Every structure is written in structure tokens, then in C-alpha cells.
A = this chain, B = another copy of it.
Amino acid sequence: MPENCNACERSETASEALSERGARLTDLRRDVLQTLHHSPKPVGAYELFDQLKEAGKASAPPAVYRVLDFLVEQGLAHKLQSLSAYTACKSTPHAHEAFFRICRECGQVTETAVPASLKDVAAQDEFIAEHLVVEALGLCRECQESTL
């Protein structure tokens, strides 16, 4: 891991934002967040656990899940339901919800805003949508080319 990379800076920014809210970015949380930022594709909880364990930084699965839950609550990370995997939030300010397009070949994920029209439909019949899961699985342009 490079020392002064973009991903690490993001973690620092996150740290400041958190302390304003009375939440703390501990060592373990920072490690997880940076790992997510450094990974080109979503990371499973156990994959994360294995890495942290090798580095002597995590003890058992519950620790990892607690950190992941925290990061998701704070909007610093997202869980991709289709993959049962996690990814750092790439938008600023950090959003709790986004539309994820996931390439099944390279695994890369692009994060965009959830269209207002979808939220409109969600709110029909007085439904209160507390959380949206919006994911598209498919092939990114690059992988279409390389699969020719």
C-alpha cells in the first residue's frame, strides 16, 4: 500500500467528518476502510477478515462485521447485495444509497446517484422507503471489447 495515496487521504477526510458526528475512526476501522479503498473491486467480509488476520489486525469474523456495519451506517462503505461484498463509498459527500453497476467480468463497480424517478416510484401509495438497493449486473464496455 502506498503511503500518500488518494485512498489514504480519503480515510483522513472521513476521519474528520466522523469526529464531527461524535464517531471515531479507530485503527481497525481505518484499516478496513483503506483496504476497501485500495481494492479495485468489492471485497467479501471473510476475504477482508483473512487479510486482516494475516496482518495481525483482526481476531475473528464478528470484529469485521461490526466494522463493516459501522462504515455502512456512516455512509463510508456500501454493501453490494448481489455479491455479498463491500465497497468503499466513492461519492462525496458520502451517500447511503447509490446505483451500482457491477461488471461480472472484471468485478469493477461504478457508483452513480439513484435517479429521482426511482425514488418517486418508491414513494407511491405512501410507502416510506427507508433504504434502496439498486444494482445492475452486466458487462462494462472494456470487458465487452476484451471478450470479443
A-B contact pairs, 22 of them (CB 8 A): A99-B121, A101-B122, A101-B129, A112-B121, A115-B115, A115-B117, A115-B121, A117-B118, A118-B118, A125-B141, A127-B136, A127-B140, A127-B141, A129-B137, A130-B138, A131-B137, A131-B138, A133-B133, A133-B134, A133-B137, A134-B134, A134-B135
Contact residues, A101-148 vs B (CB, 8 A): 101, 103-104, 110, 112, 115, 117-118, 121-122, 124-141, 144
Interface centre among A130, A135, A136, A141 (most CB of B within 10 A): A136
CA distance A138 to B126 in the complex (A): 11
> Taking the complex as formed, is A82 at the interface, i.e. its CB lies under 8 A from any CB of chain B?
yes
How many A residues, CB 8 Å from partner? Answer: 32
> Taking the complex as formed, is A81 at the interface, i.e. its CB lies under 8 A from any CB of chain B?
yes
A129 engages B136 (CB within 8 Å): yes
Q: Which of B110, B128, B135 contacts A138 (CB 8 A)?
A: B128
CA distance A141 to B125 in the complex (A): 7
State the number of copies, please: 2
Chain B residues positioned under 8 Å from A144 (CB to CB)? 126, 128
Which single residue of chain B is at the shortest CB-CB distance from A124? B112
Q: Mark A79-115, 1 if CB is under 8 A from B, else 0.
A: 0011000000000000000010101100000101001
Interface centre among A81, A128, A131, A144 (most CB of B within 10 A): A128
A81 engages B126 (CB within 8 Å): no
